[in-house]
A and B are shown apart, each in its own frame.
Chain A
């Protein structure tokens, strides 16, 4: 199946609805249908945010439950603070440790464990991100209790068998090697390494590099696990066909006595925040024979918890986070240079980068850069139109209910806000703030957060064909990167 371009990453976090946005019409005559009349938005049922019930286990582990009884399914997320912030110099250790949790636990080896999960029709997976660990379980309610037994084994009694550690390490080394085949990955790795300072979340790829991966062994993983998977940093978020009381009764015997074995690892202080360049810097990486050039342009992003967040979301919707955005309208829908282009702020507890990314036909690489920089300057220097502003605000605000359809969607909203210490009810305030964003706000945040004269620019493509054109643009200093160093 082939999809029309669409996959925009969505940054909005939700909300209650403003009322009419689109009322271009009043109904015409009763006779022949006048097709030029754009239908007004109809009335619809009000959307209500789900209610969060809170509880805790004897050891203090917090529990948040959202009842959602549409289907007899339960979606559980265990979030543990830490993630890659605990790694201290061994990139990939956090995500590898999380990956190893399901490679043998309790009395079961990896096959027995995963065979049992498969038999229950349960999905259970663990991940280590830049700020947290997450363990997710998705299961039919009828199988919840036996699946929770397996979850408890995985979280509390992983075995880290040497043979499995070696297997997963070798698989990860293969996967690291194949990054070099993928221009989009090369560009993303280079961009993160260039924009984010060493030690900052996201500077290193979450699955590490080949040297750090080769050094992984069972002892190192176990030592890290014991000091990272600790109850004082853990909380459960459960969405589905259960109540808080039911869930607490199921979790208490399995997790209520969970204590840490050794003192938890300190969460590392962040050494330095990313800073903007003083001038544009261009980095090139060669992929001889590439049919397209992958382009990423960006810089340090913005603070998710700051007062500018709603205005930034609206501004970025106009710039590059919707199909009708300026970047996509220009480079795809007007020039035909690309299948799609988007811009995003990578939100996180610490500001992630802002980036415009696209793949363009090799022989329009330079022309594409001209247009991208034109749009970056334009959104800063000229007020957006009222129509654009209204559309972007409505798109953000009205799109909220759709994020509350599935258990995983609801859980995602809750856990994501929780990263910033925000309750689910803050969604309503967010929508109100979106609806209050003005033309002046958009221009102000564009000036503040969109790099034009200070951008970091990464281009991965066939340099023999594109380099001259890029140089002629005189955007800034040019450095050629080595692919095997970036994807190392």
Chain B
């Protein structure tokens, strides 16, 4: 609905200096139903262009993997494209292409996200395909399919970890920042050995346990009629049986061990990564940590860019900072790449001094506002795209049961004060951390030195 989209952002970016000003509330209209088998169905109409997105989140990710099976949730995601009982391989991609539609999927620590996007005429086809793999994936699952996608995923791992500069950090960081047994203490891509171990039985078990309608939410967004969508969803998804209820242990609180590690890689320039344990998504300090990351490294004028990259004695070629928060937990990282010939301890000292200064003084009013405005404009542009809106509806529902949390999400950023930024930097970054130095092979002397955090 055009109107919906207009309303959606009526409040945004009207007065940069006064982001707390009251404006019309953002709202993305939707309907929410739950089928008897537990499938949640969210529908949002937007008639700007004759296209539609179907976005399904299964509430399962790498954090649900068993010991010895790291990487399995992602391997399973690939197998969801290998055909199902009534839509045998390779009809999934072929039928969608013949309808002008695209598709993809991604796996994270907590959830696995699938979408199809294309002409709204393809909606029945998309729902039929998704229903078939949600209900009837396993009858046609066999070892050749698992072996094939295992090879594909191993190549994905080679491409994104082994053959990518600095990629090996992925293998070492999760287990350093999260304690043994914590669902985030291994990487989503997993290890080669564990990928090799995955069996057809593992696939069937995982499917029975996690790929049930009561563990999924389906969003349809685009140029569609609500009643027609709900009728189609009912038609294709109703007789998929409910799966078992899922309970997950809550990880015990813990303190990160202060750690310094050095990795050697085939790189020209050393890179330093500092990581602290923070808070989960939407926790009270989550937004302030995002804003702190923007003030530190979100723009050319940010503190760390000025100190490391754009000062008269620049030591780095780039720097970024990020609060990475998920369902259970979060971490905050600062990553900087050294200029040629420089060791990482120089960078570490500048980063520590800059963070300490910001924690002591807090951001200026202008810095704070710039960070918030940058966030708001990104937020707005994400909503230009129907696929982004669909994904966000699923995301909010997953977090708090309310798909239309756009305004609430914005509000938590608008509410961040300079005092909040100071407080979260002191609380979370003046604490134990994991320090990873990636240095060119044979140059361990370029690594940063461990210091006791104050």
Q: Do A and B come from one complex?
A: yes
From the candidates B15, B120, B127, name the one contacting A45 in the complex (CB within 8 A): B120
Q: Does B351 contact A (CB under 8 A)?
A: no
Q: Are the C-beta atoms of A171 and B98 separated by less than 8 Å?
A: no
Contacts of A323 in B (CB 8 A): 93, 97
CA distance A118 to B147 in the complex (A): 49
Q: Does A107 contact B (CB under 8 A)?
A: no
| Further contacts, 16 of them, CB under 8 A, given A73-B381, A339-B153 | A1-B106, A21-B99, A41-B122, A44-B121, A69-B2, A69-B6, A72-B9, A111-B300, A121-B13, A178-B165, A292-B155, A336-B151, A361-B155, A395-B100, A407-B384, A408-B384
From the candidates B104, B162, B268, name the one contacting A181 in the complex (CB within 8 A): B268
CA distance A122 to B381 in the complex (A): 11
Between A22, A46, A110, A337, the greatest number of chain B beta carbons within 10 A of the residue's beta carbon is seen for A22
> Which 6 A-B residue pairs are closest in the complex by CB-CB distance?
A398-B100, A336-B151, A121-B377, A39-B124, A291-B162, A140-B13
Once A22-B125, A119-B16, A390-B98 are accepted as A-B contacts, the answer to whether A292 and B158 lie under 8 Å apart by CB is yes
**Size range of the chain B interface in the assembly:** 35 or more
Among A30-38, A247-255, A261-269, A438-446, the stretch that binds chain B is: A30-38
Q: Are the C-beta atoms of B339 and A70 separated by less than 8 Å?
A: no
Q: Mark A1-29, 1 if CB is under 8 A from B, else 0.
A: 11111100000000001000110000000
Between B5, B90, B122, B132, the greatest number of chain A beta carbons within 10 A of the residue's beta carbon is seen for B122
Contacts of A329 in B (CB 8 A): 90
Between A114, A333, A400, the greatest number of chain B beta carbons within 10 A of the residue's beta carbon is seen for A333
Q: Does A402 contact B (CB under 8 A)?
A: yes
Q: Are the C-beta atoms of A398 and B118 separated by less than 8 Å?
A: yes
From the candidates A3, A119, A178, A339, name the one contacting B373 in the complex (CB within 8 A): A119
CA distance A123 to B188 in the complex (A): 33
Q: How far is the CB of A27 from chain B (nearest CB, A)?
A: 11
Q: How far is the CB of B235 from chain A (nearest CB, A)?
A: 6
Between A and B, 21 residue pairs with Cβ closer than 8 Å are A1-B188, A2-B107, A4-B81, A35-B128, A35-B136, A39-B124, A41-B125, A42-B123, A44-B223, A72-B9, A73-B384, A110-B300, A115-B299, A121-B16, A140-B12, A174-B269, A333-B90, A336-B150, A336-B152, A359-B159, A405-B49
Q: Does B202 contact A (CB under 8 A)?
A: no
Q: Does B172 contact A (CB under 8 A)?
A: no
- A interface residues, tally (CB under 8 Å): 88
Q: Does A55 contact B (CB under 8 A)?
A: no
CA distance A170 to B268 in the complex (A): 15
Q: Does B59 contact A (CB under 8 A)?
A: no
Once A73-B380, A336-B152 are accepted as A-B contacts, the answer to whether A181 and B267 lie under 8 Å apart by CB is yes
CA distance A171 to B379 in the complex (A): 29
Q: How far is the CB of A84 from chain B (nearest CB, A)?
A: 24
* B interface residues (Cβ-Cβ under 8 A, vs A): 2, 5-6, 8-10, 12-16, 47-51, 74, 77-78, 81, 85-87, 90-91, 93-95, 97-108, 113, 117-125, 127-128, 131-132, 136, 147-156, 158-160, 162-165, 188-189, 223, 235-236, 239, 266-269, 299-301, 306, 309-310, 312, 314, 317, 337, 339-340, 366, 369-370, 373-374, 376-377, 380-381, 383-386
